[in-house]
Chain A
Amino acid sequence: MLGRNIRDAIKSVIRNFTLSLASISCITITLIIVAVAIIASFNVQNFTKEIERDMTIVVFLNNEVNQEDIDEVEEKIKKISNVEKYTFQTKQEIKKQMQEESDVFNTVLENFSDEDSPLKDTFQVKVKKVESIGKTAKKIQSIKNVAVVRYGEGMVEKMVTAFSSVEKVAIGIVAALIIVTVFLIVNTIKLTISARKREISIMRLVGASNITIKLPFIIEGMILGLFGSIVPVIITTYGYLAFYKHFDGHLYSNLIQLIQPEPFIYQASLIIIGIGIVVGMIGSASAVKKYLKI
C-alpha cells in the first residue's frame, strides 16, 4: 500500500513537472536562506558560549583581612543569585603560582613578605547570565572588605549583548522564512491538487478513506521538500567548508571562533533536509484538507 503511494507520488511529481519544479525552486531558495541563517545562528551561539565561559569577575580583598572576614565575603558572594560558581586563592597561592609561571616574577616576589605583598586574596567568580555581569560586579563591590572588582568591563559585555540580539534576529528570520515556505508549498501543492480535483472527487465517490486520498499528496509534498533541500545541502556543506578554510577557523580575532566543519555540516544538512520534508508535508496536508470536505 505504501509502495503504491510512493510510486503514485513520484509519478505525480513527474507528470506535473513544471509545477513540481516551481515548488522545488521555492523550497530551494527559502532553504538556502534558512541554511545561512541556521549556520550564522549556530556560530553566534557557539562563540557567545565560548566567551561566556571565559568571563570571570575577579574580586580582590583588602590587605588586612583575616579568615573570618574571608568567610563572611564568601558567604555574601554565595548568596548572589547570578553567581554560578567561584574559586578562592590566598595571596600565598597566587604568589606561588606566579613564581612558577616566570623567573622575573620569581625574583621580584621573593623580596616581599606576606605583610607587604602587593598581591591580594582573590575570589574568581563565574556568573550565570553574562548580560548582568556588571550588576553582579557592583553587588560584590559593595561587600565589606572587598577592595577592587575587575571584569571585562564594557567591551566584552557589549559584544555579548550584541551577539545575543543577532542570534535572536537570526532565529526570528528562520522562523519567518519557514512559515513563508509553508505558505508557498500550500499554494503550489494546491495547484497540483486543483489539477487533480476530478481524481479526488472520484476517489471519494468510490469510497476511498480520507487518509488514502491524503497520503499520496503528503508523500508528494515530502518528496518535493526532499528534492528542494538537495541544493541547499550542497551549498551548506561546501560553502561552509570553503568559508571556514578561507577565514582559518576564526573571524577577525581569535575571540570569534567558528564551529569546526565536522560534524557540524552534517548536522546542519540533516536539519535542512528535515525542515524541507516536514514543511513539504505540512504544506501538502493542509492544501488537500479543503478537498476532503463536502
Chain B
Amino acid sequence: MDLIRIKNVEKKYKNGVTAIYDLNLAIEKGSFVFVIGGSGSGKSTLIKMLYREEKPTKGQVIVGGLDVAKLKNKKVYKLRRKLGIVFQDYRLLQKLTVYENVAFALECIGEKRDIIRTKVLKALEDVGLKNKVHEYPDNLSGGEQQRVAIARAIVNDPKLLLCDEPTGNLDPEKSMEIMKVLESINKLRGTTIIMATHDKEIVNKMKKQVITLKDGHLVKFKQKGTYAE
C-alpha cells in the first residue's frame, strides 16, 4: 500500500522561483527512500511539502490518507502526529536533558506520564543512548545529538520519518552510525523513511530506493539505486 501519493505537484515560491515541476510519486509503506540532487534541485521543498511546512501550488500531496495541500493551519498538528522529522541542525532544546527533549514531543500532545516514560526509554534504547538519559545536549557529540533528535522523532511511533540532510553536519564515521540507527528503525519498527541527502557515499553503500531530482524535475526513481549522474 502506498503511504505517500504525489500527483501532478507543482511548487512555485512567492518570489517566482519554481522549485518542483509536475511531480508524480508513490511511496510504499515500510520503504526506505533517498531523495538526492544538487542544491536547488527541490529535494528540501519536497520534504517540506510532506510535513506541510510548504503547500504545493498545484496538485495533490497525500500522506497517510491526509490531503496535505487542503489541510488548514489549525489542523496541521494532525499530520505532524503521524510523522517524525529530523533536521541537519538537530533542533534540540538546550535547557532540557536528553530524556526531557524526547519526552517533550509526547508532553506536547498530552500523553500520560507513565506512558511517556516507557516510550521515551524505548526510543532512547533504539538509538543507543540509554546511558546518556540525564545529559544535556551541549555535553553530547554531534552524532549523539542527532540520535537524540531521531529518538524524539520516533518516540510517538510515527508511520513516516522524514530526514532533511541528517548527516550534513557529521563526519563519515558518525554519518554511518546515524544510517545504521535509521536502518534498524526502518527494519524493526517498520517506519517508512524518506531522507534527503547529497552524501554519495551513504547512498551508494545503503542500496535503497533513490529518487533523483534535478532543477525541480524527477529524473529517476530506482529500486536499488546509487548516486550516479
The reply to whether chain A is a binding partner of chain B is yes
User: In the complex, which of the residues B76, B78, B152, B156 has the most CB atoms of chain A within 10 Å of its own CB atom?
Assistant: B76
Inter-subunit contact A207/B108 (CB<8 Å) = yes
A207 & B104 in contact (Cβ 8 Å cutoff): no
Instruction: Provide the A171-204 mask, 1 if CB < 8 A to any CB of B, else 0.
Output: 0000000000000000000000000001101111
Q: In the bound complex, do residue B73 and residue A207 qualify as a contact, i.e. CB atoms below 8 Å apart?
A: no
Count of residues in A whose CB is under 8 Å from the partner chain: 19
Query: How many whole Å from A199's CB to the nearest CB in chain B?
Result: 6
Q: Knowing A198-B93, A206-B105 touch, does A1 contact B77 (C-beta < 8 A)?
A: no
> How many angstroms from the CA of A210 to the CA of B78 in the assembled complex?
11
Q: Is B1 an interface residue (CB 8 A)?
A: no
B85 beta carbon closer than 8 Å to chain A: yes
On whether the beta carbons of B80 and A204 are closer than 8 Å, the reply is yes
Could you say which of A198, A203, A294 contacts B108, with CB atoms under 8 Å apart? A203
From A1, A201, A204, A209, residue with most partner B Cβ within 10 Å: A209
A294 and B77 contact, CB distance less than 8 A: no
Counting CB contacts under 8 A, is B81 at the interface?
Answer: yes
Q: Which residues of A contact B156 (CB under 8 A)?
A: 206-207
| Residues A206 and B73 in contact, CB atoms below 8 Å apart | no
CB distance A202 to B73 under 8 Å? no
B74 within 8 A of A: yes
Nearest residue in A to B54 (C-beta to C-beta)? A294
Which residue of A198, A207, A292 contacts B91 across the interface (Cβ within 8 Å)?
A198
- With A292-B73, A294-B52, A294-B76 in contact, do A208 and B108 touch (Cβ < 8 Å)? yes
Closest-CB distance, B106 to chain A (whole angstroms): 8
Partner of B93, one of A199, A207, A212, A294: A199
Q: Does A293 contact B (CB under 8 A)?
A: yes
Give the most central of A201, A207, A213, A292: most B CB within 10 Å: A207
Inter-chain contacts of B109 with A (CB < 8 A): 206-209, 212
* CB proximity of A146 to chain B, nearest CB, Å: 70
Residues of B within 8 A of A198 (CB): 91, 93
B53 interface hit (Cβ, 8 Å): yes
Count residues of B near A (Cβ-Cβ below 8 Å). 23
A264 to B143, CA, bound (A): 65
Q: Which of A202-225 contact B (CB under 8 A)?
A: 202-210, 212-213
**Contacting residues, chain A, for B74 (C-beta < 8 A):** 209-210
Cβ B93 vs Cβ A206 within 8 A: no
Q: Which of A201, A213, A294 neighbours the largest number of chain B CB atoms within 10 Å of its CB?
A: A294
Q: Would B85 and A293 count as touching, CB distance under 8 A?
A: no
Contact B76 A204 (CB under 8 A): yes
Pairwise interchain contact A204-B77, C-beta atoms closer than 8 A: yes
Q: How far is the CB of A79 from chain B (nearest CB, A)?
A: 60
Report the minimal beta-carbon distance from A149 to chain B, rounded to whole angstroms.
Answer: 67
Does chain A have a CB within 8 A of B110?
A: yes
Asked whether B80 lies within 8 Å of A205 as measured between CB atoms, the reply is yes
Contacts of B105 in A (CB 8 A): 206-207
Is B110's CB under 8 angstroms from A207's CB?
Answer: no
User: For the complex, what is the distance from the CA of A68 to the CA of B3, rounded to whole Å?
Assistant: 97
Q: Within 8 Å CB of B51, what residues of A? A: 205
Report chain B residues within 8 Å CB of A201. 91
> Are A293 and B73 in contact, with the CB atoms below 8 A?
yes
In the complex, the answer to whether A207 meets B52 with C-beta atoms within 8 Å is: no
State the CA gap A202–B82 with chains docked (Å). Answer: 15
- Nearest chain B residue, comparing its CB with the CB of A202: B91
- Whether A209 touches B77, Cβ cut-off 8 Å, given contacts A294-B52, A294-B53, is yes
Please, how many angstroms separate the alpha-carbon atoms of A1 and B156 in the complex? 19
Minimum CB–CB distance from A82 to chain B (whole Å) comes to: 54
Please, how many angstroms separate the alpha-carbon atoms of A210 and B85 in the complex?
19
Instruction: Point out residues on A near B: beta carbons under 8 Å.
Output: 1, 4, 198-199, 201-210, 212-213, 292-294
Chain B interface residues (CB < 8 Å from chain A):
51-53, 73-74, 76-82, 85, 91, 93, 104-105, 107-110, 152, 156
Task: Jot down 13 A-B pairs with beta carbons below 8 A, ordered by A.
Answer: A198-B91, A198-B93, A202-B91, A202-B93, A204-B77, A205-B85, A205-B91, A206-B156, A209-B77, A210-B74, A210-B77, A212-B110, A292-B73
Interchain residue pairs A-B with the least CB separation, the first 4:
A207-B80, A208-B108, A207-B81, A206-B105
Known contacts A202-B91, A294-B76, then 11 further A-B pairs from the complex at CB < 8 Å, ordered by chain A residue:
A202-B93, A202-B104, A205-B85, A205-B91, A206-B80, A206-B156, A207-B78, A207-B108, A208-B109, A209-B77, A294-B73
